[in-house]
Amino acid sequence: MCGIVGYVGERDCTDVLLDSLSKLEYRGYDSAGIAVFENGEITVEKAKGELKNLREKVAEHKPMGHCGIGHTRWATHGEPSDINSHPHGNKRVSIVHNGIIENYKDIKNFLIEKGYTFISETDTETVAKLLDRSGAGKRRQGLSSYPH
């Protein structure tokens, strides 16, 4: 069963997210990841396997910020892998998700017709792309025209 955490505050967000995810490990998971809002954009680190794999990646390049989300994944769509791990999104929009998006194939086909490409096998990535298409995160950056 997956686990989801989020943090906004004055502490080091990456440390809080990793500590929080460690408290959810008992639920079972196959991969883990975090997204941290850092210097005006979102930085993502994720890794297949135990949380220590993610900690090792973060030790090489630690996202520094005060706002972020974290996830431990229990795969339903797509094998456990670095790419299929959550969060999904881009530098403006990032999501984690628990459960199954039943109509994800319809959403995915719609978005492919609109020119989107997908890098993971997950159902979750369709919602990240749908949010991107809706303009989420773009107004904050002052972008007035959307490419798709």
Amino acid at 125: E
* 36: helix, strand or coil: strand
Got the DSSP string for 61-94? S----SEEEEEEE--SSS-S-TTTSSPEE-SS-E
Q: Which residues within the stretch 40-79 sit at the binding site for ligand GLU (CB under 6 A)?
A: 73-78
Residue 90 binds ligand GLU (CB under 6 A): no
- Considering only 19, 56, 99, 134, the residue that binds ligand GLU (CB under 6 A) is 99
> How many positions of this chain bind ligand GLU (CB under 6 A)?
14
Q: Rank residues 67 and 83 by Cβ distance to ligand GLU and give the closer one.
A: 83
Amino acid at 4: I
The DSSP output letter for 100 is -
Tokens standing for residue 5: 């955490």
Please list the residues that pair with 35 across neighbouring strands. Answer: 44, 69
Q: Rank residues 14 and 31 by Cβ distance to ligand GLU and give the closer one.
A: 31
Residue 8 binds ligand GLU (CB under 6 A): no
Tokens standing for residue 16: 């809080």
Q: Are 126 and 111 in contact (CB under 8 A)?
A: yes
The DSSP output letter for 3 is E
Q: Rank residues 14 and 124 by Cβ distance to ligand GLU and give the closer one.
A: 124
Task: Return the range that interacts with ligand GLU (CB under 6 A); candidates 36-44, 60-68, 122-130, 131-139.
Answer: 122-130
- Considering only 43, 94, 122, 126, the residue that binds ligand GLU (CB under 6 A) is 122
- Considering only 27, 28, 79, 100, the residue that binds ligand GLU (CB under 6 A) is 100
Report the interface residues with ligand GLU, using CB under 6 A.
Answer: 2, 73-78, 97-100, 122-124
